[in-house]
C-alpha cells in the first residue's frame, strides 16, 4: 500500500538568495516526486476568466504562485518527499496545508427588527446603516473590480448578472465559478447588487464583480486554494479582495501572499470570525482589513470575533441579500459584515479614483462612526464604516494604522 500524501505549502527563498539561482521552483518540487508521476501545476496565468481546475486525482493537483515576493508552490507529498524537500537549500519553509471555511450562515435564526421585504426593490437595512445611499451621488463604485473569494457567485442572478465580469475556480471539478453553496452569492449581493427595479441593492451597485471560487459546495477549502485565488486577483488586476472565510491557524505563505497583494495596490478585506473570541486567519494579518459584526442597534454581535487585530466593523446580523437560484435570503456572521466594507471600499475608490489602497483605507478608517471608546477599540476597531463621509471627503485622510500581526 502506497504512503498517503498530504497537501503542503512550500515557500521558496527569493531567487537571489537560492543556492541554485537557475533552478525553477516547480522543477525542484518535481525532483522529489516519483518518476512518471503526472502532477499538474496550475497557476493564475494559466486559468483564464471562467476557467476551472479540472476534475482529477487530488494527488496530482498542485499550484504554482508566480509572485517575486511570494515564491510559493503547493503540492501533495509523502513524508519522505517533504523531508527531502525541506533539506533543499532553495526552500525557506514547508508548511502543512490547513482547512478553511466560509464564515457565517449559522445564525439565520437571529431576528433583525425592521428588516424590509423584497416585494419591491429594497435597500437592505445594513446598506442603509452604513450610509451608502447618501454616497451614491458621488460614486456607486462604477468599474471598480471586486473579487469575492468564496464559494463562487450565481452569475445568472438577476441582481448580479449586470455587474458580473468573470471569475475562476480553484475547486477541482467545479467547471465554472458558479456558486453551488450560496455563501458567495450572498456576499456578492451585499457588495454590488445592481439597481434594476427589483430585488435588493448592494453597497456599490455599479462595481464589477469577479467570482474566485476557492470553497466547495460544503463551504470548505484550503489555504493553498486561498493563496492561489489571491494570486489570481493580483494577476488579473482586482482592486478589492473580499474574503468571508478563514481558518484557526496561521501560515507564513498565506501571510506572504496577502502582503504581496497589498504591496501591489489591492485592498484586502476579511471576516474577523464567528468564534466570539480571537480573530481568525487571514483577517489577523496586518495587511488584511479585519471586520467585526454589529447588529441593527450598533451592538457587537455576540458571535463576532474581537481583539487587537480588528480594524473596522459593519452590519452582520440577519443581513438580506441575494442567494443562489435567483432567490433572496438572510444570513448572519462576520461573513456578512465583510462585504459591506468591501463594497464601501469600491464606492469610496470610485469617488477617489487616483487614490492608493492605503489612501482608501485611511478614508474608510478615519471617516467612521465611532461606536465604542473614543478612537480604536478591540470590539469595533476604529468604528462603523460610513460610505457617505468617506466618499465625499474633500481632502486625504491622515494615516491610520492598520491592526494585525
Give the residue-averaged pLDDT of 336-340: 98
170-223 pLDDT, tens per residue?
998 888 999 999 999 999 999 999 999 999 999 999 999 999 999 999 999 999
258 phi and psi angles, rounded to 5 deg? -65, -40
- Return the closest-CA partner of residue 292 out of 192, 185, 383: 383
Determine the Cα–Cα distance for residues 243 and 75; give it in Å rounded to an integer: 23
Phi-psi region of 326 (alpha: psi -120 to 50; beta: other; left: phi over 0): left
* Residue among 64, 150, 311, 388 flagged as catalytic: 150
Q: What pLDDT was estimated at residue 109?
A: 38
Q: Which cell numbers in the block locate residue 335?
A: 461573513
For residue 92, give the 3-state DSSP assignment: strand
| pTM of the predicted structure, to 2 decimals | 0.94
Q: What pLDDT was estimated at residue 168?
A: 95
Tell me which of 40-49, 157-166, 312-321 is least confident.
40-49
Q: Which cell numbers in the block locate residue 329?
A: 435570503
- The secondary structure element, H or E, covering residue 351 is helix 334-351
Angle, helices 223-235 vs 252-263, to 10°: value is 10
For residue 309, give the 3-state DSSP assignment: coil
Q: What pLDDT was estimated at residue 107?
A: 37
Other Cβ atoms less than 10 A from the Cβ of 45: the count is 12
Tell me which of 37-51, 78-92, 103-117, 120-134 is least confident.
103-117
Q: What pLDDT was estimated at residue 103?
A: 81
82-123 pLDDT, tens per residue?
999 999 999 999 999 999 999 864 434 333 334 556 667 889
Contact call for residues 117 and 182 (beta carbons, < 8 A): no
Query: From residue 54, how far is each of 167, 178, 227, 233 by CA, in Å?
Result: 15, 14, 18, 20
Burial 354-379 (b: 16+ CB within 10 A, else e): ebebebbbbbbbbbbbebbeeebbbb
Query: From residue 230, how far is each of 45, 70, 335, 379 by CA, in Å?
Result: 12, 11, 18, 27
Contact call for residues 159 and 322 (beta carbons, < 8 A): yes
Phi-psi region of 394 (alpha: psi -120 to 50; beta: other; left: phi over 0): alpha
Tell me which of 98-107, 169-178, 228-237, 320-329 is least confident.
98-107
64 phi and psi angles, rounded to 5 deg? -120, 115
Best-predicted range by mean pLDDT (34-48, 117-131, 316-330): 316-330
Contact call for residues 338 and 270 (beta carbons, < 8 A): yes
Percent of the chain exceeding pLDDT 70 equals: 95
249-294 pLDDT, tens per residue?
999 999 999 999 999 999 999 999 999 999 999 999 999 999 999 9
Angle, helices 334-351 vs 183-192, to 10°: value is 30
Q: What pLDDT was estimated at residue 292?
A: 98
Give the angle 200-205-208 at the CA atoms, nearest 5°.
Answer: 125
**183 given a catalytic annotation:** yes
Amino acid at each position: 500500500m502506497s504512503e498517503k500524501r498530504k497537501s503542503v505549502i512550500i515557500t521558496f527563498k527569493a531567487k537571489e538568495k537560492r543556492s541554485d539561482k537557475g533552478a525553477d521552483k516547480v522543477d525542484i518540487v518535481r525532483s522529489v516526486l516519483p518518476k512518471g508521476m503526472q502532477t499538474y501545476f496550475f497557476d493564475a496565468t494559466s486559468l483564464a476568466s471562467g476557467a476551472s481546475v479540472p476534475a482529477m486525482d487530488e494527488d496530482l493537483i498542485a499550484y504554482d504562485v508566480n509572485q517575486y515576493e511570494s515564491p510559493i508552490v503547493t503540492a501533495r507529498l509523502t513524508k519522505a518527499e517533504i523531508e527531502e524537500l525541506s533539506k533543499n537549500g532553495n526552500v525557506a519553509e514547508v508548511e502543512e496545508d490547513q482547512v478553511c471555511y466560509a464564515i457565517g450562515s449559522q445564525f439565520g435564526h437571529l431576528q433583525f427588527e425592521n428588516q424590509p421585504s423584497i416585494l419591491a426593490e429594497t435597500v437592505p437595512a445594513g446598506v442603509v446603516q452604513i450610509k451608502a445611499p447618501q454616497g451614491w451621488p458621488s460614486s456607486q463604485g462604477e468599474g471598480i473590480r471586486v473579487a469575492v473569494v468564496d464559494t463562487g457567485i450565481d452569475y445568472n442572478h438577476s441582481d448580479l448578472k449586470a455587474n458580473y465580469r468573470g471569475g475562476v475556480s480553484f475547486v477541482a471539478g467545479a467547471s465554472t465559478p458558479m456558486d453551488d453553496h450560496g455563501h458567495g452569492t450572498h456576499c456578492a449581493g451585499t457588495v454590488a447588487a445592481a439597481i434594476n427595479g427589483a430585488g435588493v441593492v448592494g453597497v456599490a451597485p455599479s462595481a464589477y464583480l469577479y467570482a474566485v471560487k476557492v470553497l466547495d459546495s460544503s463551504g470548505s477549502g484550503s489555504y493553498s486554494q486561498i493563496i492561489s485565488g489571491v494570486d489570481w486577483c493580483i494577476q488579473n488586476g482586482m482592486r478589492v479582495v473580499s474574503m468571508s472565510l478563514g481558518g484557526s491557524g496561521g501560515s507564513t505563505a498565506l501571510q506572504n501572499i496577502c502582503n504581496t497583494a497589498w504591496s501591489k495596490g489591492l485592498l484586502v478585506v476579511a471576516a474577523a470570525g464567528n468564534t466570539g473570541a480571537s480573530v481568525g486567519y487571514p483577517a489577523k494579518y496586518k495587511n488584511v482589513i479585519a471586520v467585526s459584526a454589529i447588529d441593527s442597534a450598533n451592538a457587537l454581535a455576540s458571535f463576532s470575533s474581537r481583539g487587537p487585530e480588528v480594524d473596522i466593523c459593519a452590519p452582520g446580523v440577519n443581513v438580506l441579500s441575494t442567494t443562489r437560484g435567483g432567490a433572496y435570503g438572510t444570513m448572519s456572521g462576520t461573513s456578512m459584515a465583510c462585504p459591506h466594507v468591501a463594497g464601501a471600499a469600491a464606492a469610496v475608490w470610485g469617488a477617489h479614483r487616483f487614490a492608493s489602497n492605503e489612501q482608501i483605507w485611511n478614508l474608510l478608517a478615519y471617516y467612521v462612526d465611532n461606536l465604542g471608546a473614543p478612537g480604536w477599540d478591540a470590539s469595533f476597531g476604529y468604528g462603523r464604516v460610513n460610505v457617505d463621509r468617506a466618499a465625499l471627503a474633500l481632502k486625504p485622510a491622515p494615516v491610520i494604522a492598520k491592526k494585525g500581526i
